[in-house]
Structure 1
Amino acid sequence: MKKNMNFWLIPFAVLLSCSEKSYVNNIVVPEPPAPKEYEFSATPSWADEFDYEGLPDTDKWSYDIGGSGWGNNELQYYTEARSENVQVADGLLTITARKETYEGSGYTSTRLISKGKGDFLYGRFEVKAKVPQGRGTWPAAWMLPSDWTYGDWPASGEIDILEHVGYDQDVVHISVHTEAYNHSIGTQKTAFRKIQNATTEFHTFRVDWTPAYIRGFVDDVQLFNFPNEGTGYKVWPFDQKFHWLLNLAVGGDWGGQQGIDEEVYPVQYQVDYVRVYDLLNP
């Protein structure tokens, strides 16, 4: 009787083992979908090559004006169409920050905007620039919403293509700001890299802005990636039109963290070109 019981148990155990093994081997774990890759036009749909002389092209640029600190306790007064602060010559846009008393401020500079003349939803945005040297300088190439659909900053978003603060020589930053992700609550999404000769040579800075992601590049090397989490405007307000800003600030909460070297002024922020390439497959 015992012998017969063993005879029946052995094949049953083998059968059970084979059945379990077959079941496990047939479990298929799906791969997560690959993010969609986007393409952009080969030629710019909007650009300023700065291949003329004089003040910036009024068909493309307007000015933010004033000395209110601009939300960052900056020290400059942004002037309008003042050749001492902005000039186009020799194929370059030059924004100059000067130490001078002007309208109650101790410095002057320029802040150009393309609002109403260049407003964009998605695309490739590229600027070739050389930043100034010296503590207290804070140049930027960036984008703000044209209509502020979701409310005041940071709810409607901000895209920073290039930022450089003079006390941190040659370190360039690419960032985004949203209601969920911003520096005021310690959640800002940013990336930075130390590059060679940011203040003596021109470099290219760009973002690829699509419905699925914003990616940032320095000299065509990817530095930054911000995916659309699909959770609404507090994370992703980037489904509305934005416009360019080019400016050179003095001091401020970030730019002035280590003081201002007054001996370096005047200083110049130079831009070779600004280009926008259309998104081809939205």
Structure 2
Amino acid sequence: MKLFLAFVLFGVAFGQEWNLIWEDDFDSLDPTKWEHEVTAWGGGNGEFQVYTPDSENSYVRDGMLFIKPTLLPENINPATGEPFGEDFLTNGVLDLEELYGYCTDEDPNNCLRYGADSDIQPTMSARLRTAQRFSFNRGRAEIRAKMPRGDWLWPAMWLLPENWVYGGWPMSGEIDIVEIIGNEDLKFADSGEDIGIQYMGSTTHWGASPEQNRYYLTTAHKLNYEQDFSNYFHDYVIEWDENSIRWYLDGEFILSVPDPPVNEQPGFNFFDFGSPWSEGTSNPWQGASPMAPFDQDFHFILNVAVGGVGGYIPDNVINRGNNDLYGKPWSNSESQIDAMWRLWGTRDRWHWTWEGEDAAMQVDYVRVYEQA
């Protein structure tokens, strides 16, 4: 049955037939399919991890990809063959090119960090991408995966533009297949709504400038108490054509962008949809197709981030029954450096929640089909 499905898939919801064009079942970690990003940037959200190809943070076993965060001092320093150690965070030099042979970041400040400046992140993780290896524009993408469980983890499976045709982020778009927060018991303080491992989100980011991101117009969330997203595997699917992108969770429709689709909205374009804009804002998609910026090639990214001050992990939250001991250690109004040091200083209150491979994103497969 698996062999048959690997070649032809019938779309039940829309009566479509799909032909497989790319897949990874993770029998190995194939460098012709995936590149490890190597950077201390923080992902634009002031996150608290360094991404490297360390085999403690990403590996395959029994046909499964694991992406697992660790405390940086516990990782092996390639230069010495010994753990980095806690002293490295304040006295070491994190030269990613020297240690790992390359850095994928164009900014040299994100390739070289000094402990004396207190800007070496205290955690390490992995971020894999298919950039310059595989990208696609339209089709059906399927990922079967289990998200990590652990306080202040931020796993994501998503897509970024291959060529940034319409300019930098978010003008050229971003497609988030799924992201969650890894806390087992995290709620909004005001509403009491769960926003931890029972709660997933899917969205697109797009806008005429970084300050005018209209993601909130194209976002959906789903709660699942019976089979949360960290203790169970789920099937995450997007179907993408010239009229819309549609998200499915375990076969259930959860989001369409746009909604209704382009062919049901004569004259639709994302610039008008996102209006009003700031005075003088120009249309980055002028003259492009109605689906722009989502009419270009995008590549996959799989990663597990830790913390961040960008706002995805909000401030007004209750963790583990409103016990102050386990509250969020940092504020999003703080600098990345101040915030990550607050997290590090309270590690005895949260690191115990990163229990072995339960704290790892586990990916069974990634598959892409084109419509027959």
What's the CA shift for 1:132? 1.1
Residue equivalent to 2:177: 161
* Per-residue deviation, residues 230-281 of structure 1 (Å, max 9, x unmatched): 326387301110000000000013454353623223621110000101133x
Write the letter of the residue equivalent to 2:55. Answer: S
Tell whether 2:68 aligns with 1:96. Answer: yes
Tell whether 2:218 aligns with 1:246. Answer: no
Moved more, 129-138 or 252-261: 252-261
What's the CA shift for 1:202? 0.6
TM-score of the two chains, using structure 1 as the length reference: 0.78
Which residue of the other structure, out of 208, 216, 229, is the alignment partner of 1:198?
229
Tell whether 2:91 aligns with 1:118. Answer: no
SS at match of 1:44: strand
Residue equivalent to 1:177: 205
CA RMSD of aligned residues (A): 2.3
Tell whether 2:18 aligns with 1:46. Answer: no
* Per-residue deviation, residues 161-208 of structure 1 (Å, max 9, x unmatched): 111112422211111111169996565211010122311111000111
The answer to whether the 8 Å contact 2:206/2:215 transfers is no
Tell whether 2:353 aligns with 1:264. Answer: yes
The answer to whether the 8 Å contact 2:205/2:213 transfers is no
Moved more, 112-121 or 181-190: 181-190
Moved more, 213-222 or 133-142: 133-142
SS at match of 1:45: strand
The answer to whether the 8 Å contact 1:119/1:242 transfers is yes
Residue equivalent to 1:9: none
What's the CA shift for 1:40? 4.4
Residues matched between the structures, number: 239
SS at match of 1:263: helix
- Once residues 239 and 182 of structure 1 are traced to their aligned partners in structure 2, the CA distance between those partners, rounded to angstroms, is 20
SS at match of 2:26: coil
What's the CA shift for 1:136? 0.7
Moved more, 114-123 or 254-263: 254-263
Tell whether 2:131 aligns with 1:148. Answer: no
Which residue of the other structure, out of 273, 277, 282, is the alignment partner of 2:369?
277
TM-score of the two chains, using structure 2 as the length reference: 0.60
Moved more, 138-147 or 176-185: 176-185
* Per-residue deviation, residues 13-41 of structure 1 (Å, max 9, x unmatched): xxxxxxxxxxxxxxxxxxxxxxxx68341
- Once residues 209 and 268 of structure 1 are traced to their aligned partners in structure 2, the CA distance between those partners, rounded to angstroms, is 28
- The 1:184/1:172 distance shift into structure 2, 3 A limit, reads farther
* Per-residue deviation, residues 141-176 of structure 1 (Å, max 9, x unmatched): 100000000000000000011111124222111111
Residue equivalent to 2:7: none
| Structure whose CA Rg is larger | 1
Moved more, 89-98 or 163-172: 163-172
- The 1:183/1:135 distance shift into structure 2, 3 A limit, reads farther
Residue equivalent to 1:136: 152
SS at match of 2:230: coil
- The 1:107/1:184 distance shift into structure 2, 3 A limit, reads farther
- Once residues 362 and 252 of structure 2 are traced to their aligned partners in structure 1, the CA distance between those partners, rounded to angstroms, is 21
The answer to whether the 8 Å contact 1:181/1:187 transfers is no
* Per-residue deviation, residues 38-60 of structure 1 (Å, max 9, x unmatched): 8341x4210101124xxx10110
Write the letter of the residue equivalent to 2:352. Answer: E
Moved more, 172-181 or 271-280: 172-181
Q: Which protein is richer in helix relative to its size?
A: 2
Map of 1:203-242 to 2, 5 A cutoff?
A: 203-227=234-258, 228=262, 230-231=268-269, 233=285, 236-242=292-298
- Once residues 138 and 224 of structure 1 are traced to their aligned partners in structure 2, the CA distance between those partners, rounded to angstroms, is 21
The answer to whether the 8 Å contact 1:142/1:246 transfers is yes
- Once residues 313 and 352 of structure 2 are traced to their aligned partners in structure 1, the CA distance between those partners, rounded to angstroms, is 15
Map of 1:63-82 to 2, 5 A cutoff?
A: 63-80=36-53, 82=54
State the percentage of identical aligned residues.
Answer: 35
Map of 1:4-83 to 2, 5 A cutoff?
A: 39-41=16-18, 43-52=19-28, 56-80=29-53, 82-83=54-55
Structure 1 gaps of 5+ residues are: 1-36
Q: Which protein is richer in strand relative to its size?
A: 1
Structure 2 gaps of 5+ residues are: 1-13, 74-83, 85-93, 95-119, 184-195, 271-284, 318-327, 329-342, 344-349
- Once residues 91 and 68 of structure 1 are traced to their aligned partners in structure 2, the CA distance between those partners, rounded to angstroms, is 30
* Per-residue deviation, residues 89-148 of structure 1 (Å, max 9, x unmatched): 111000010012463220000000001111101111111110111221111110000000
SS at match of 2:352: helix
What's the CA shift for 1:86? 0.5
- The 1:57/1:187 distance shift into structure 2, 3 A limit, reads closer
